[in-house]
Amino acid sequence: MTDIDPIAQRAAEAAAPYAAVAPARRAAALVSVADALDAAASDLICVAMGETGLSEARLTGEVRRTSGQLRLFAEVVVDGGYLDARIDEADPDYAIGARPDVRRVLEPVGPVLNFAASNFPFAFSVAGGDSAAALAAGCPLIVKAHSGHPELSRRTAAVVAAALADAGMPDGVFQLVEGQQAGVDLLEDDRIRAGAFTGSTHVGRMLADIAAARPRPIPFFGELGSVNPVYVTAAAAASEADLVSGFVASVSGSAGQLCTKPGFLFVPQGADLGDVRAAVADIEAHRLLNPGIGRGYAQRRDAVLGAPGVRVLAEGTVREENGQRFATPTVVEVDLETLRAHRDELLDETFGPLSIIVRYPDAAALPDVHRDLFPGNLTATLHATDADAGDVRDLVDALAATSGRVLFGGWPTGVSVTSAMQHGGPFPATTTDATSVGTAAITRFLRGVSYQNAPQSLLPPALRDDNPWDVPQHRRAAGASQRWGSLTGAI
């Protein structure tokens, strides 16, 4: 059993010195980690292939994404806009009453515990997006390794730890733990100030409940389940020649083990989709990540295939070999009424290469159908033509109200890591509405602190008048509320 006490203590002791590291040095450390990962990529990918069954091409792209997002966060740190530095100068004539000099900046929350995911052994694991965001925010990080790729986790951790040490970061800024109990014990430790998680709804909810039940609760940013419905209008179904091939590619990539895999494709009754069986015929069997996920997929697939009213378009296969399961895509079809009648059997996420085509009779009913069936998802996608634009407004509103990302054409898999990405939506997509991908993810690990009438020498650098870090400062001078007057004409 892991003694988590010294681990939590090291992280706690690293909090103040790491928070004090100047942005340029912190950014350089993130870039060092990125460079070290790239340098170690071929060895790490070899280990990852054995432990996860994912392909070399997929893992090569994933390492590129992982080091790339570390560099992207380095850029964010140097830019400093994420600090949301606000300076309100003292104003004896302020409309609500004389105000002092008040300045506010976002500061790191302290030690962060990140539960790594199984399905992205790089991009959502030891050096993945949550880790990059926490380190960029200035928080000491403890990663709980996923049991699906233990050796890769250890090797990646060694690369990360060495790069951070070489860059002069304080001891205790990065640590790795293994085992469920160690993870739970740390999550319950008062020194841990925030949690992050990517995984199943069942486990994520259990951990979120632990975080909320602590004597001092902490925020827990969990990315749980999502089925990512895709809606196709009649005009789009008639005009998109590559609709089914694109769908099948999105469902089967990485054996469907992606949080953004399209689990439902809504097409009009009567629309001709061509030969779905033929579209999947050439896709080779892909190993599922580990025996537990393989077993879960086989059971869930059996349940879907056995549900009343389900028509099999491409049955696919699941075969077992040396304890691992290998699968080819399964695509089934149901009528909308069948889906609604058997929602308990059919609506849950299937983690693997299975998707359900839903035949709908009336496009006008889709906004209500969507709100009813899909209250929380990472993504929702609309395939429409220019001619549909006037008719889909309500559906787009419904998708935006229930999802973190709304796509117009294309497929939800392949999440771009950018400043405008939102990867998080209403529960169960995430436990909060925060994003775990893209630069906005950094705000999860920050909290606001105001300084009132502080002398310049005791202000954080980002709030000082001489602005030594050259960060964007939102300054509000005395009497500077121009719009105020025009809105009120009174004060």
Window 310 to 369, contacts with a second copy (CB under 8 A): none
Q: Which of residues 2-31 bind a second copy (CB under 8 A)?
A: 15-16, 27-28, 31
State the helix-helix crossing angle for 201-213 and 180-187, rounded to 10 degrees: 30
Nearer to a second copy, 274 or 410 (CB): 410
Residue 155 lies near a second copy (rule: CB under 8 A): no
Spell out, one character per residue from 455 to 474, where the chain touches a second copy: x when CB under 8 A holds, - when not: x-xx-x-------------x
CA separation for the pair 21, 431 (Å, rounded): 31
Selected from 403, 413, 461, 464, the binder of a second copy by CB under 8 A is: 403
Q: Which of residues 123-152 bind a second copy (CB under 8 A)?
A: none
Binding-residue total with a second copy (CB under 8 A)? 102
Residue 103 lies near a second copy (rule: CB under 8 A): yes
- Number of C-alpha atoms within 13 angstroms, CB side, residue 470? 4
Closest listed residue to residue 51, CA positions, set 414, 251, 252, 293: 293
Rg (CA), the chain: 25
CB of 67: closest distance to a second copy in angstroms? 9
Selected from 63, 407, 462, 471, the binder of a second copy by CB under 8 A is: 407
**Residue 445 in contact with residue 134, Cβ under 8 Å?**
yes
Residue 184 lies near a second copy (rule: CB under 8 A): no
Residue 1 lies near a second copy (rule: CB under 8 A): no
> Which two tokens mark 142?
């403890």
> Which two tokens mark 2?
């892991």
CB of 449: closest distance to a second copy in angstroms? 5
Residue 110 lies near a second copy (rule: CB under 8 A): yes
Active site residue 139: no
Q: Which stretch in 42-50, 211-219, 322-330, 346-354 sits in contact with a second copy by CB under 8 A?
A: 211-219
Residue 452 lies near a second copy (rule: CB under 8 A): yes
Residue 421 lies near a second copy (rule: CB under 8 A): yes
Residue 442 lies near a second copy (rule: CB under 8 A): no
* 332 conformational bin, left if phi > 0, alpha if psi -120 to 50, beta if neither: beta
DSSP letters along 144-178, please?
E--TTSHHHHHHHHHHHHHHHHHTTPPTTSEEEE-
**Residue 417 in contact with residue 441, Cβ under 8 Å?**
no
**Residue 93 in contact with residue 470, Cβ under 8 Å?**
no
Nearer to a second copy, 108 or 316 (CB): 108
Residue 397 lies near a second copy (rule: CB under 8 A): yes
Residue 65 lies near a second copy (rule: CB under 8 A): yes
Nearer to a second copy, 231 or 297 (CB): 231
| DSSP state at residue 364 | G
Q: Which stretch in 145-153, 281-289, 312-320, 482-490 sits in contact with a second copy by CB under 8 A?
A: 482-490
> Which two tokens mark 315?
């049955």
Active site residue 259: yes
Selected from 87, 113, 127, 143, the binder of a second copy by CB under 8 A is: 87
Residue 196 lies near a second copy (rule: CB under 8 A): no
DSSP letters along 381-439, please?
EEE--GGGTTTSHHHHHHHHHHEEEEEESS-S-S---STT-----TTTTBSSS--SSSG
Give the number of other Cβ atoms within 10 Å of residue 239's Cβ: 12
Nearer to a second copy, 60 or 147 (CB): 60
Nearer to a second copy, 345 or 397 (CB): 397
User: Known catalytic residues?
Assistant: 223, 259
